[in-house]
Chain A
Amino acid sequence: MTLFNFFINNPDTVLRLALEHLQLTGSAILTAIAIGVPLGIALTRNKHLANIVLAVTSVFQTIPSIAFFGLLIPFLGIGKRTAVLVLFLYALLPIVKNTYTGIKEVSPFMIDAGRGMGMTNMQILRMVELPQALSVIMAGVRIATVINIGTTTIAAYIGAGGLGELIFSGIQLYRNEMILAGALPAAILAILADQVLGYVENALKPKGLRKKR
């Protein structure tokens, strides 16, 4: 009941923080796609580089998020910029890795057939590899986004804003309804994002590759 009252009394705050939350996650994810997809493609062309880059991005993934934020504060200070950088680094691995795997999984015979018919490298990428890898890449984006919405709540700790602000303030003030007012919308955002991106993933799967019912 008190939670309900909190929403009634502070609709603007919740909405503003939710939007801020989405903005943080969104800019991190979009940057990660813009850099991660081309990077993943580049890695399929160089096995040696692939091992190094995938190892490094995995390391980012293992650092606890709160420690990671802490590590960067001495260099970048607190605030949105630092938060987005960390979130971006977290999102990078699933996207790079799925792009890399998706393209690597395309049968070498497909590529041989394409090349044998006179496709250029660019055409092989555009007409053979990417269409077949697209849903795998999208699955990476989906994982990255869902994890990122969770991690973004912690970004409030370094003053980046977002729904985490309500959670941390609630903890300090011993106000459960305030904690929930941050946690519940964050959870809902994550679930919604997962649903929507799952739908997109399926829509991107070429018709000839979808399972027959």
Chain B
Amino acid sequence: MISFKNVTKKYDNFVAVDNITLNINRGEFVVLIGPSGCGKTTTLRMINRLIEPTEGTIYINGTDIGKLDAVELRRNIGYVIQQIALFPHMTIAQNIGLVPYLKNWPEKKRRERVEELLEFVGMPPAEFYNRYPNELSGGQQQRIGVARALAADPDIILMDEPFGAVDPITRATLQEELLRMQDKLEKTIVFVTHDIDEALKLADRIAIMKEGRVLQYDSPNQLLTNPSHGFVEEFIGRDRLLKQPEFINVIDVMIKNPVTILPERTLTQALEKMRQEKVDSLMVVDQSGRFMGLTTARDVLENFERAERVSEILTTDVHYVDEDANVSQVLAIMAQKRVGYVPVISGDNKLKGLITRSSLVNVLGQRLNT
């Protein structure tokens, strides 16, 4: 779908992107990640020609994009940036309908598309169609930012740290929404971030970049299990031990006291706890420490009107491991079931700990440092 052939971008003497060759398949969610100045944003912006390469060629569906009209090219590629940059003088509907307007869609078709997209991102058109961006929260604004990128139904969407400016709970919600969206739409998404947790959560493939080069371009599991380069290991958490994850017991890497909540607590209390502890999900445990299930910020927010207590909304169908399991099994569950949290449960159904993707990486990294 998108391929970079020996692409280099120089600014005077500074090489921002150094001879990159990269293929992105149709329908693939690719994350470009690396420390600041690694060339990830430059790489992204060369796809819609906001930046022109110094050398090399970029192809979309086999066509050299340098030979296309840049304005026309951009109208066929979705673009979302961290600053969101909704136009403050336009209504929500005008913002979303902008690219269709530039493409001269008839007004009726535009309105229908905008309404469809507002529904799609969970913001009722009756309420939001004629509102202005400054009346929305950060999370709502970025939903509109995403809807705006989807407006003309482009095959490719470029996202430059789109969730970098929102709070952690909203970010987790937006990430989940994006994943659900992607399951339905199967767009080709190129996503820039510097947050490894975000990359591991979202990507089909991750390109780890440093000093303008791509060090490794692989699936999240391959990166975790077979990092090809010292910097890659370092970047994803110095977890050399993950090379043989079957030798590590979950007891050694789990979070020993995950944030829990009693099932009889109210949703407001649950939300407050998540906020205080800076987590986006809670393990639900009864008075005697028995594991009941879990609940996420998303569950709480979606059911806020309908339900009152955590017990009414908790997910009981949770994939868990017992205390004897090893990290390899956890990774397998995470990959196959597409879950981010795996609780560790003892024989008598007590919650012993919790493994998340980031805890896996962080804890292993810490162990190596000490």
Q: Which residues of A contact B (CB under 8 A)?
A: 107, 109-110, 112-120, 123, 127-128, 131-132, 206-209
Contact = CB atoms under 8 A, between A and B. Distances in A.
Interface in B88-112: 88-91, 98-99, 102
Nearest to B76: A118
B87 interface: yes
B72 interface: yes
B140 interface: no
Contact of A113 (B75, B81, B132): B81
Given A116-B50, A117-B74, A118-B72, A208 B88 contact: yes
Contact of B85 (A107, A123, A127): A107
Contacts of B76: 118
B126 interface: no
Contact of A209 (B74, B88, B91, B102): B88
Given A115-B74, A117-B75, A118-B74, A208 B90 contact: yes
B34 interface: no
Interface residues of B, number: 25
Contacts of B81: 109, 112-113, 116
B200 to A, nearest CB: 27
B102 A118 contact: yes
A131 B75 contact: no
B193 interface: no
Nearest to A132: B89
Interface centre among A120, A123, A127 (most CB of B within 10 A): A127
Contact of B89 (A115, A116, A123, A209): A209
B152 to A, nearest CB: 9
Contact of A206 (B73, B74, B88): B88
Given A131-B89, A208-B88, A208-B91, A116 B83 contact: no
Contact of A119 (B83, B91, B102): B102
Contacts of B61: none
Interface in B60-91: 71-76, 79, 81, 83, 85, 87-91
Given A119-B102, A131-B89, A209-B89, 12 more contacts: A107-B85, A113-B81, A115-B74, A116-B158, A117-B74, A117-B79, A123-B102, A132-B87, A132-B89, A206-B89, A207-B132, A208-B88
Nearest to B83: A109
A132 B132 CA distance: 14
B191 to A, nearest CB: 15
A114 to B, nearest CB: 8
A119 B73 CA distance: 11
A123 B102 CA distance: 9
Task: For the complex of A and B, list the 3 residue pairs with the smallest distance between their C-beta atoms, beginning with the closest.
Answer: A206-B89, A208-B132, A118-B75
B133 interface: yes
Given A207-B132, A208-B134, A117 B102 contact: yes
Given A116-B74, A118-B75, A208-B132, A107 B83 contact: yes
Contacts of A132: 87-89
A110 B87 contact: yes
Contacts of B42: none
Contacts of A115: 50, 74
Contacts of B90: 206, 208
Contacts of B75: 117-118
B48 interface: yes
Given A207-B132, A208-B133, A117 B83 contact: no
Contacts of B72: 118
Contacts of B83: 107, 109, 113
Contacts of A131: 89
Contacts of A114: 87
Interface centre among A112, A119, A132, A208 (most CB of B within 10 A): A208
13 contacts: A109-B81, A113-B79, A113-B83, A113-B85, A115-B50, A117-B75, A117-B79, A118-B102, A120-B71, A132-B88, A132-B89, A207-B132, A208-B88
A118 B154 CA distance: 12
Contacts of A127: 87
Contacts of A128: 87
A128 to B, nearest CB: 6
B137 to A, nearest CB: 15
A99 B218 CA distance: 50
Contacts of A119: 71, 102
A117 B89 contact: no
B18 to A, nearest CB: 24
Interface in B259-308: none
B50 A118 contact: no
